[in-house]
Amino acid sequence: MSSEANLRELTVVAMSGGVDSSTVAAMLHESGAPIVGLTMQLWNQRRLPELSPGEAPRQRCCSLDDVYDARRVAEHIGIPHYVVNFERRFEETVVRPFVQDYLAGRTPIPCALCNNHVKFDQLLVTARQIGASRIATGHYARIERNAHTGRYNLLRASDLSKDQSYFLFGLTQEQLAHASFPLGNLSKQAVREMARRARLPVAEKPESQEICFVPSGNYTNFIDAYRRETSERGRADKEDSERSRADKDDSEGKRAEEEDREQGPAAEKDCDESGELVSTSGQVVGMHSGIQNFTVGQRRGLGIAAPRPLYVLQIDADARRVTVGEEKELWRDSLEARDVNWIAWPGLDEPLEATVKIRYRHEPAPARLEPAGAATVRVRFHAPQRAITPGQAAVFYRGDEVLGGGWIR
């Protein structure tokens, strides 16, 4: 397809209200491409007010201030702008799994889930509904079409200090085919300068530092408040349902109430979430109030005194047991990744040498990838790696190319 044809295609710019996506909008508009700015309303910032009483929300993405900033930028450069409400989808595919993962002893990555299920899924559906063929975002990564395989390759950004390819490992070929990352070859400093030259209202805006739905970055407080709210909402819905049934058929309603009374105590969730802190030998060294308070590699907040620093080594959700030990015991040389998404090719048929990142700020480490079942890969590192954490992503690289990735078991 010619570049002239590309310029005529309507592109949706996912405008978060930050400097990166705002600069993308300005760049594309200046190039003459027809664009529409869409801002996603993902989370009601007024929910769970007890988490930040009397305080203005700190710098988080997707806040009401961000929506306002995105609209200001759109007006400044002269493009249409709309807000789309994806709150239900976001809660179902990002927030709820976030809470469930922590309660299962895993450490989730909500930004990756948001990319997979909202930004490059639901937003693409909305873009097509308004006649757009592409989505442009402010991610620091690159996409190239492989002339030999016909597949779309995902590459690390030129500025490795800002590279976000780790969070994009779950994108499908369909999503990559309709995505654009105009900042992939730029540094953050260059983007700031472009924003200043365009006189964008957000040119000096600081970067967001927190997860959009977690005030003050306190995960455990959020989980407790969310579960409490969900439980109260569930009880209210049940009471409404029971009243409705009673009004419709009094006799059936009475029978249902009797059944609920019989099943109630057994169906109630055990509120005692305490458990044991144990050493690698199985010795009990302390107690805890809930496994959601811990992540592998954690040192602070264990609540126990020891002659040497102790770290979280393992979390057993079923037994509500947290194993702790010395730093040297954190190092492992293998892992299994589930639900693997391959980008460079459809699947892995034989062992492969690659480098692997096990967290966002982790330097890719040489490893051997081995097929281990449907959408499962066993990773054997050439040298042990510190704090391999269930729930995080293992992303496979060949140089700058993202081969694929999956979730650490």
**Residues taking part in catalysis:** 114, 212
Maximum CA pair distance of the chain? Answer: 73
Identity at 164, one-letter amino acid code: Q
Directed axis angle between helix 219-248 and helix 96-103, to 10°?
110
Angle at 177 between CA 3 and CA 7, to 5 degrees: 25
Nearest to 7, CA basis, from 186, 27, 16: 27
Phi/psi at 327 (5° precision)? -60, -35
Place of tokens 């490059």: 120
Measured in whole angstroms, how far is the alpha carbon of residue 383 from the centre of its chain? 28
Kindly state the DSSP code that residue 386 receives in the 8-state scheme: E
CB 220 within 8 A of CB 51: no
Between CA 318 and CA 316 the distance in angstroms is: 6
SS3 state of residue 112: helix
Nearest to 155, CA basis, from 174, 179, 124: 179
Pairing assessment for the beta strands 377-386 and 11-14 based on DSSP bridges? unpaired
CB 15 within 8 A of CB 138: no
Q: Concatenated DSSP letters for 159-208?
A: STTT--GGGGTT--HHHHHTEE-TTTT--HHHHHHHHHHTT-TTTTPPPP
Between CA 387 and CA 358 the distance in angstroms is: 9
SS3 state of residue 99: helix
